[in-house]
């Protein structure tokens, strides 16, 4: 059963078991995907195992890695900068995700119900086409504490200049805002695509039953959009925990440690301080956190089932 | 199917609100970037930021081009090869996984999908070590390989979903004509794959062109892509902003062009459900 092709399900059923297991088509299939499998193991599976190994060593490129057991993990747990990095990262995620998702959902419903204009969709996706580096550069310029355009505007409304990126309290919110600016359009488009997949007959039936816009959104759109929502949420949450580009271009982790998020701290430890073992240990910790969060999200949102079929 | 839902008339004023928001948030920054890139450094002044330049000054673009041409070339090489290879491999994987049942298929696909959710950072250090050990650290080839592998889960997923929609009867017809495993792919599926390729190519092109973490950690100066060079420029103190803005525009043009040329197919592809969880 497992080997017969969909394209030709009936031929070959009478052949011997051995023949079916190793039939030519099965082998051809593996030859086709072989390069991908090799790449997958060399670049994903092996590095993951090696990463765990490196995390148990002291390694600074000068000398071969030296096994030191759990030392790096102990260091991490007593390192205030590491804890702060986790805290700051979490702050970023909490500011980023709910706002970004709600705005995107709102934009998607607007794009569906108010205007189907391709120009509007085109403008919304614009920032996502620019790299994080360019986006960070533009906002670094617009939000400059002294020479920024936004501060000029604020002053005209009688509001004092703000430090934005370079304030210990505003740094993370500013970086979250820049990220929301870049991603709300693409997320809206994903939601919009999901909404287009909802059968129109459901809405027609609801209209006949006298349901209003809000009722239809809550009872039809939102539940049937769940697979897309799960996809958007899971990828965005995992992505947000790894925020790096914007910080690298703008604050460099400062002022003090206010924006030294976890991936930035890991990269600094590895490539500036050449503490590869310690950096690898922090990577492993972050990876474990991300797995737990992803599984939790899947569980809570019941990601793999659609309400349409249930 | 019956007609689509009628737009909600009572919300009509929202169209204008939406357009105002869109322009304030997205078009004003774009406007400011473009005019600043065309101003003489001496005439850049905070109080006239929003005004058009008195004299169009193209010199910044010439300077940016001289400074960034080698980096742009690196980015082109990297993006071109990584996009094409990951698209082709994704298409073959998608074909095998959607149209053939073979032993282990139920394991192979979830494993590949799992790769989509792997956080880059978790393999960054061992990958750096691996690249050094095979002599590819600091080379564009190494970065291409990396991007091909990390692109495979999404390209495979998109093509698998795309091919699943193509009726099996079309393959049966091909089989009757005597096409084999590869013939079915090259003669039946591949010619139908254009919309799938458009979605995958736009996606991969923008991802790889814009990527920064691998670019900054796995390259040396002579193999740096444009994102790394730009990031270094932004870090400098007291820069005259005409040059960085001109550089930003040069670096943004390729993705914008790809999108302008193929964007309508991209959104159509998205809407057809090519990218789904």
Reported as type and span, the H/E element at residue B49 is: none
Q: Is the pLDDT of residue A305 over 80?
A: no
- Predicted local confidence at residue A89, as pLDDT: 96
Q: Rounded to two decimals, what is the model's pTM?
A: 0.87
Radius of gyration of chain A (CA): 25
**Can you give the pLDDT at residue A183?**
93
Q: How far is CA B107 from CA A222, B110, B126, B201, in A?
A: 32, 6, 25, 27
CB crowding A258-272: b at 16 or more within 10 Å, else e = bbbbbbbbbbbbbbe
* The pLDDT of residue A178 is above 80: yes
Across the interface, do B33 and A138 touch by the CB < 8 Å criterion? yes
Provide DSSP, A112-180: HHT---HHHHHHHHHHHHS-HHHHHHHHHHHT-TTT-HHHHHHHHTTPPP--GGGSTTTHHHHHHHHHH
User: Cβ distance B33 to B249 under 8 Å?
Assistant: yes
- A127, A242, A248 ranked by CB distance to B231: nearest: A248
Q: Which domains does chain B have, with CATH numbers?
A: 9-48 (no CATH), 59-271 (1.10.3720.10)
Q: Does A263 touch chain B (CB under 8 A)?
A: yes
The CATH fold of domain A79-301: MetI-like fold (1.10.3720)
pLDDT above 80 for B153: yes
Contact A2 B46 (CB under 8 A): no
Give the residue from A2, A3, A7 with the most B CB atoms within 10 Å of its CB, the best one to mutate: A7
Handedness of CA B241, B247, B253, B256 (dihedral sign): negative
Compute the mean pLDDT over every residue in chain B, rounded to the nearest whole number.
Answer: 84
pLDDT tens by residue, B118-146: 787 888 999 998 999 889 999 999 999 99
Whether chain B has a CB inside 8 Å of the CB on A21: the answer is yes
Tokens 């765990």 -> residue: A52
Q: What does the angle CA A183 – CA B200 – CA A243 come to, to the nearest 5 degrees? A: 30
pLDDT in tens, A287-302: 999 999 988 888 887 7
pLDDT score for B4: 53
Greatest mean pLDDT range, A42-46, B16-20, B103-107: A42-46
Query: Which among B111, B105, B109 is positioned nearest to A26, based on CA atoms?
Result: B105
| B158-201 pLDDT, tens digit each | 898 888 888 888 888 888 888 777 888 888 888 888 888 988 99
Which of A43, A139, A192 lies at the smallest CB-CB distance from B146?
A43
A269: helix, strand or coil: helix
Is the CB of residue B243 less than 8 Å from the CB of residue B64? yes
Identify which has the larger pLDDT, B39 or A4: B39
**Binary contact (A228, B276; C-beta < 8 A):** yes
What ipTM goes with this model? 0.87
Question: What CA–CA distance (Å, rounded) separates B271 from A196?
Answer: 7
CA atoms within 13 A on the CB side of A190: 23
How crowded is residue B58: how many other Cβ atoms within 10 Å of its Cβ? Answer: 10
Q: What is the mean pLDDT of residues B244-255?
A: 92
- Please state, for a pLDDT cut of 90, what percent of chain B lies above it: 34
A276 contacts on B by Cβ (under 8 Å): 125, 129
Q: What are the boundaries of each domain within chain A? A: 1-55, 79-301
Residue with tokens 């082109």: B76
- Band of residue B1 on the pLDDT scale cut at 50, 70, 90: very low
């Amino acid at each position: 059963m497992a080997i017969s092709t969909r394209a030709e399900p009936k031929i070959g059923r009478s052949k011997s078991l051995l023949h079916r297991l190793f039939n030519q088509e099965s082998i051809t299939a593996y030859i086709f995907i072989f390069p991908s499998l090799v790449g997958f193991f060399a670049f994903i599976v092996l590095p993951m195992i090696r990463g765990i190994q490196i995390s148990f060593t002291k390694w600074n490129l000068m000398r071969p890695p030296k096994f030191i057991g759990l030392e790096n993990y102990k260091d991490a747990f007593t390192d205030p900068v590491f804890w702060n990095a986790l805290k700051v990262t979490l702050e970023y995620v909490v500011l980023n995700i709910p706002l970004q998702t709600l705005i995107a959902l709102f934009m998607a419903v607007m794009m569906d119900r108010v205007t189907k204009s391709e120009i509007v969709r085109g403008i919304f996706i614009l920032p996502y086409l620019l790299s994080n580096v360019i986006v960070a550069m533009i906002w670094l310029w617009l939000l400059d504490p002294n020479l920024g355009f936004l501060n000029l505007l604020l002053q005209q409304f009688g509001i004092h200049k703000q430090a934005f990126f370079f304030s210990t309290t505003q740094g993370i919110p500013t970086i979250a805002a820049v990220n929301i600016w870049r991603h709300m359009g693409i997320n809206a488009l994903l939601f919009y695509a999901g909404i287009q997949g909802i059968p129109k007959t459901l809405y027609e039936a609801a209209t006949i039953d006298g349901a209003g816009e809000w009722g239809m959104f809550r009872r039809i759109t939102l539940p049937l959009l769940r697979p897309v929502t799960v996809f958007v949420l899971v990828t965005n949450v995992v992505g947000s925990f790894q925020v790096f580009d914007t910080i690298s271009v703008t604050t460099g982790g400062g002022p003090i440690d206010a924006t030294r998020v976890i991936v930035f701290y890991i990269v600094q430890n590895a490539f500036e301080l050449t503490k590869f073992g310690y950096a690898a240990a922090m990577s492993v910790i972050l990876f474990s956190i991300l797995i737990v969060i992803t599984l939790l999200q899947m569980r809570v949102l019941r990601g793999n089932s659609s309400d349409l079929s249930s | 199917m019956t007609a689509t839902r009628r737009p909600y008339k009572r919300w009509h004023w929202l169209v204008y609100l939406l357009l105002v928001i869109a322009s304030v948030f997205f078009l004003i920054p774009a406007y400011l970037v473009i005019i600043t890139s065309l101003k003489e450094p001496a005439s850049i002044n905070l109080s006239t930021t929003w005004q058009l330049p008195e004299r169009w000054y193209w010199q910044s673009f010439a300077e940016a081009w001289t400074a960034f041409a080698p980096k742009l070339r690196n980015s082109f090489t990297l993006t071109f090869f990584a996009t094409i290879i990951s698209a082709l491999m994704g298409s073959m994987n998608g074909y095998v996984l959607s149209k053939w049942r073979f032993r282990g298929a139920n394991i192979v696909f979830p494993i590949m999908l799992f790769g989509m959710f792997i956080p880059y950072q978790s393999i960054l250090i061992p990958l750096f070590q691996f690249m050094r050990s095979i002599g590819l650290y600091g080379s564009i080839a190494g970065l291409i390989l990396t991007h091909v592998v990390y692109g495979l889960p999404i390209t495979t997923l998109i093509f698998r979903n795309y091919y699943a929609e193509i009726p099996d009867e079309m393959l049966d017809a091909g089989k009757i004509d005597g096409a084999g495993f590869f013939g079915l792919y090259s003669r039946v599926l591949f010619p139908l794959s254009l919309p799938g390729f458009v979605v995958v190519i736009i996606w991969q092109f923008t991802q790889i062109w814009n990527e920064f973490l691998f670019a900054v950690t796995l390259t040396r100066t002579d193999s740096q892509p444009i994102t790394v060079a730009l990031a270094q420029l932004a870090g400098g103190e007291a820069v005259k902003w005409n040059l960085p803005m001109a550089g930003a525009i040069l670096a943004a043009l390729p993705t914008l062009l790809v999108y302008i040329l193929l964007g309508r197919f991209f959104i159509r592809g998205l809407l057809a459900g090519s990218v789904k969880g």
